[in-house]
Amino acid sequence: MGNEKSFWGKFKTFSIYAGPSTFAFLTVMIIPFIYGVYLTFTSWDGLSEIHKFIGFENYIAVFKDTEFWTSLGFTGWYVLATVIITNAIAFLLAYVLTTGMKGQNIYRAGFFTPNLIGGIILGFIWKFVFSNILVYIGENFNLPFFETSWLADPKKAFWTLVIVAVWQYSGYMMIIYVAGFMNVPKDILEAASIDGANGFKKMKSIILPMMIPSFTVCLFLSLQRGFMAYEVNLALTGGGPYKTTELISMHVYNKAFLSQQYGVGQAEALILFIIVATITLIQVSITKKMEVEA
Amino acid sequence: MKRRKILSLIITVVLATSLLAGCGTKAKTDDTKAAIATDKAVKITMLNTKGEILTQLEAAAKVFTTENPNITVEIIPVAAGVSPFQKISTMYAAGNAPTLAMLDPNDIPKVADKFADLSAEKWVKDASAGTLDAGSVNGKVMSFPLAIEGYGLIYNKVVLDKAKVDPSTIKTTKDLEAAFAKVQATGVAPMVLSPMDWSLGAHFLTTLYMDQSKEVGSPEKFIGELKAGKVDLSTNTVFNGLMTTFDVLKANNLDKKSPLAGVYEKAAEHLGKGEAGFWFMGNWAWPDIKKFDTANGQYGFIPVPISNNADDYGNSQIYAGSSKFIGVDTKNNDANQQAAGKKFLEWLVYSESGQDTLVNKCSLVPAFSNIKLEIKDPLGKSINQYLTDKRAIPTIATLPGDHWAQVGASMQKYLDGKSDKKALATDIQNYWKNIK
């Protein structure tokens, strides 16, 4: 083998180890991405065989598309609600399920299960719950809160989306937090107990700082999933009532395929990508800085 | 030596991938090879965008295969809420278009360059007058009309009899209101108004364009004026009349407590069980009503009145037209598959089992005059009656793809009481102004 220092030598070593994955990454991620960026400058309708180069017209159309910005704002609230509630519940569950209580493994598996159900099916199940079961209960037990379908009211429909997302993801995040709890060194906790630290003090000064890596991962995942949510949105509310619960992914998809303005839809997708990338990068860099060594 | 090895390796990889890439877009369109090998097994696919006849079509595909053993037909369904255009564009993007694509009329011009010219097919001559128009581009027949569909207010005869209401006397908004009051007096909800955006946007509101004037081409003219921003809907008589009727429907709605919570299946149940007297829907709803039928099949249509003058255009007419068109793809399907696809269409029109599928199994009103089977479902029969009486206004086929969703959402907002007539008028005007 010999010459590891020459360019070809390095190239060969690289190709052997990382070649296949680099190739796959290039062909299924990078090249389509570049082609997608190119399409934002054309007037393609998604189906025809010709497309004209039209410069920045699509981007101008995006800035004029008020629905896009409304939908983005709505998505912002959705992400805020899901990230906070999902992580709070996941953390609490993880805390309870690492105290050594009876049957904690069964509980862990139970809370994780919703994550294994696909988004579309999940959406239909919950649609049935919100528009049939809850309404039935409301009518028969005189609970005005449930008497009308939550999916028919814009504000309540927002919360149905949040509830389902939290239910789906908190089990997954819980597993990550459980791993975080188990990685907190026992000797430090013991030392703290000997020094007279109470539960709250231990949580604040030892457990939380030691678990920052878990927070980094969980916040990143829940942020990214919140912005990219689509299937549950489609199956549960379908963007309704009257487009008030249309999350950004659904808006982009509808722009491209329903309104048949592929270029504009693609430009919106690119803007969305930039926004999500910026937010998650900032989040990761902040939480990374907060990490401490034991 | 080693360099050359790597180089040859890279070239091999590149070649192999270009081969793979080639698979995606195999378009064997050259008709010179059309020496159709009938003894060879052909598998064709059909995109079905009419969810309510999915099982019937799947059964028909099996019957077709027993009669034509070389051809197997696979029916591809489309998920609820996905428009036919969405589905077909993703299928084309994947290089995996179906042999037969069932689409809405307004999709046909956009995909026509990918479809086979069907002008020479046998069924073209037997098609009823006007049924091919929306599926033709530049005078060439590019697609097959699957069915004529119509819509209006469906009534349950048993409920109306009990309330002593004769549906044929309802000719004005006032008549309708009086009929509703009589039904209400018998303790039955007069009306169920389904809140789906496609029903409100694509069916109810489009009557606004069609009722403007008797003249041929007036809907298109009116839409042209809307696009140019020349129409003020708030002073338009048809718009005001139509929305006054809508208010009557709204006030007598079974679901008025939570008007957006209603679902299609439930509404069919309400009408079938006689829990409501009327339902604004079309004849495609028969299979769903039939499941709950308590009126022994006595249903029919009445027009949606738009004024208090019985002679006004639109007060005695319902709306009907070819609603689904099937095109034959030439890009992702070879000559054999195309021929098999055409054969399937011909089979639907001329074979006994094909006609049975259309009329009896799927309860469609066929667009072909050679089919003499008696339409058994009451709604299809009612539509057919309006057609023979020349009391059917042809539906518009040229609305933009997102019209039903956008305008439907504005209508839902109005139905929910979150906007008024003025805001609705502005919404509709703005929608059209932004269409290029």
* DSSP string computed for B143-168: SEEEEEEEEEEEEEHHHHHHTT--GG
Residues of A in contact with B103 (CB under 8 A): none
Give how many domains chain A has, as a whole number. Answer: 1
- Give yes or no: residues B334 and B402 share one domain: no
**How do the pLDDT tens digits run along chain B, 436 residues long?**
455 665 565 555 555 555 444 444 444 444 434 444 455 788 999 999 888 788 888 998 999 998 888 889 999 998 776 778 888 888 888 888 899 999 888 888 888 888 888 888 888 888 887 788 888 888 888 898 888 888 999 998 888 888 888 888 888 888 888 888 888 888 888 999 988 888 898 899 988 888 888 877 788 888 888 888 888 888 888 899 999 999 999 888 888 888 888 888 889 999 998 889 899 998 888 888 888 988 888 898 999 998 888 888 888 888 888 888 999 998 888 888 888 889 899 898 898 888 888 888 888 888 888 888 888 888 888 888 888 888 888 888 778 878 888 899 899 989 888 889 989 999 899 888 888 7
The SS3 assignment for A57 reads helix
- The pTM score is 0.78
Residue B433 forms contact with A (CB below 8 Å): no
On whether the CB atoms of residues B143 and B103 are closer than 8 A, the answer is yes
- CATH code at position B309: 3.40.190.10
φ, ψ dihedrals at A118, nearest 5°? -65, 150
The residue in chain A having the minimum alpha-carbon distance to the alpha carbon of residue B412 is A242
CB contact (8 A) between residue B85 and residue A260: yes
Tell me the CATH number at A141: 1.10.3720.10
pLDDT value, residue A99: 82
What is the predicted ipTM? 0.75
A277 located within any domain = yes
Domain residue limits at B155: 151-320+393-433
Query: In this structure, is residue B371 part of a structural domain?
Result: yes
Q: Whole domain around residue A87: which residue ranges?
A: 66-290
How many CB pairs lie under 8 A apart between chains A and B? 86
Q: What is the total count of domains within chain B?
A: 2
Q: Is residue A157 part of a domain?
A: yes
CA quadruple A89, A92, A94, A96: dihedral positive or negative?
Answer: negative
Q: Are residues B282 and B208 in the same domain?
A: yes
Among the listed ranges A31-45, A134-148, A245-259, A263-277, which one has the minimum average pLDDT value? A134-148
SS3 of residue B140 by DSSP: strand
Residues B300 and B155 in one domain: yes
> What is the three-class DSSP state of A171?
helix
Residue A12 lies in a domain: no
pLDDT for the residue B33: 40
Do the Cβ atoms of B258 and A260 come within 8 Å?
A: no
pLDDT of residue B30: 42
Residues of A with CB under 8 A from a CB of B: 8, 11-12, 15, 23, 27, 45-49, 120, 131, 135, 147-149, 151-153, 234, 238, 240-243, 254, 257-260
Residue A83's pLDDT is 93
Report the mean per-residue pLDDT for chain A.
86
Is B120 part of a structural domain of the chain?
yes
Asked if residue B79 belongs to a domain, the reply is yes
Which amino acid, B234?
A: S
Residue A268 has pLDDT above 80, yes or no: yes
b vs e for B67-83, b when ≥16 Cβ sit within 10 Å of the residue's Cβ?
ebeebbbebbbbeeebb
Assigned domain for A25 exists: no
Chain A CB contacts of B329 under 8 Å are none
List chain B residues with CB under 8 Å of A258.
83, 85-86, 401-402, 405
- Out of B86, B409, B412, closest to residue A257 by CB: B86
Max Cα distance, chain B (Å): 98
Q: Are strands B42-47 and B100-103 parallel, antiparallel or unpaired?
A: parallel
Tell whether the model's pLDDT for residue A89 goes beyond 90. Answer: yes
